[in-house]
Structure 1
Amino acid sequence: MSSRERILGRVRRALADVPAAERQDDTPYKQAVPRDYVRVHGDRSVAETVDLLAENLADYRAIVHRCTAGDLSVTIAGMLAARGAKTVLVPPGLDAKWLSAAEAERVPDLAGSTPDELDRVDSVVTACAVAVAETGTIVLDGSPDQGRRRITLVPDHHICVVRVPEQVVSSVPQALERLDPARPLTWISGPSATSDIELDRVEGVHGPRTLEVVLVDGQESADVSS
């Protein structure tokens, strides 16, 4: 018997006496959870929601850029050039047009890449799954345009593109409704940072030292705050 099987067995035994009325539908050992909490704090328009996202991203020390879809490739090229990036890591499903103006060498997202190889890459560019305005959080789910989780944890510079307004939601509950819990979710609120007991902030310990977010204005859609 594996460790996983032993742990799950203990959980099942511990939950064996949960009354049937407290179980969710017909799923054994899963207690129903009331979800009558407030889903959105305040009534915001699309523009106000996107502005709140930009404000909270900046509050977490992310560098925020805003552009149109037509200017995206030039915007990313300028960001890479300003960084002095000679190499850029590219997920397999990333739109090739996003990097059409960039001069940096493309590095593919390979399963066999070692941490040392990833650490030598100057920058990484990804899309995202969803962005949460109220918390200034970007969520990656490992889709082809985002790549493996490690490519956004090892390189020191991460450029993340958020499509506005379709990928922006107001709250965490709204984000969870869009996400598949079976996927490898990475929740990002600003560049990687930690503080010691004296509250001295150090960035880049558990991930990129620099996070740049590009909010790309696209076609108008329904109010994301509803």
Structure 2
Amino acid sequence: MSKVIRFKIDGKECMANEGDYIVNAAKANNIYIPTLCNLEGVKPKGSCRICTVKVNGRLMTSCTTPITEGMEIISNNDEINELRKMIVELLFVEGNHFCPSCEKSGNCELQALAYRFRITVPRYPYLFPQKEVIASNPKIIKEQNRCIGCKRCIRTIKDEKGHNIFAYSKRGHKSEVIIDPDLGAKMTDELAEKAMNNCPVGSILKKEKGFIIPIGQRKFDKKPIGNEIENIKI
């Protein structure tokens, strides 16, 4: 049986099981810490840095840092929120995100975080990179313009033998997530659906399934991101 320990987040006394990651311990105490790469039940990587908090004076990713007895965490102050806002803005400008025409609009976690941080126009210049749309797969479309490199698809979408269907290609600023042509061609409808749902943005879309839920009735159209954790009445 796990040991229950005490810690503080933004001055609030909290309790959680020893060894829980900070982001999960915060959620158990109705405190929302935003993430993009993290997915419940999947080993965390800390690649997006959106969940950064200050632990005993040091900046750390909350999805990869286990909670310990007496830990003091700062998650909601001007410094941390400015850092998170900057990361969201940079993700927008380094890709080509056109929210009004995107199938994921209203269900997109990046878009929802932009609303949460009250971002209307990023402060940084748009790069307008030339990226391709991979439509050769029989089940899905891989829209590289919207990919944020969170690695969710790489970590969660595997064939029956455990082989990764998605993988990184190239290096540095040219790196991109691609689909293995042979394994991808054998994807089931269920796996294609899972890939689309696990993607936090509109980079993976299942073919022949678009705009089924009307805009205005989608997840983040109804309630802002984090609302289900913070229990804020709308």
Structure with the larger RCO, 1 or 2 (CA within 8 Å, 6+ apart):
1
Same fold (TM over 0.5): no
TM-score (norm 1): 0.21
Structure-2-length-normalised TM-score: 0.21
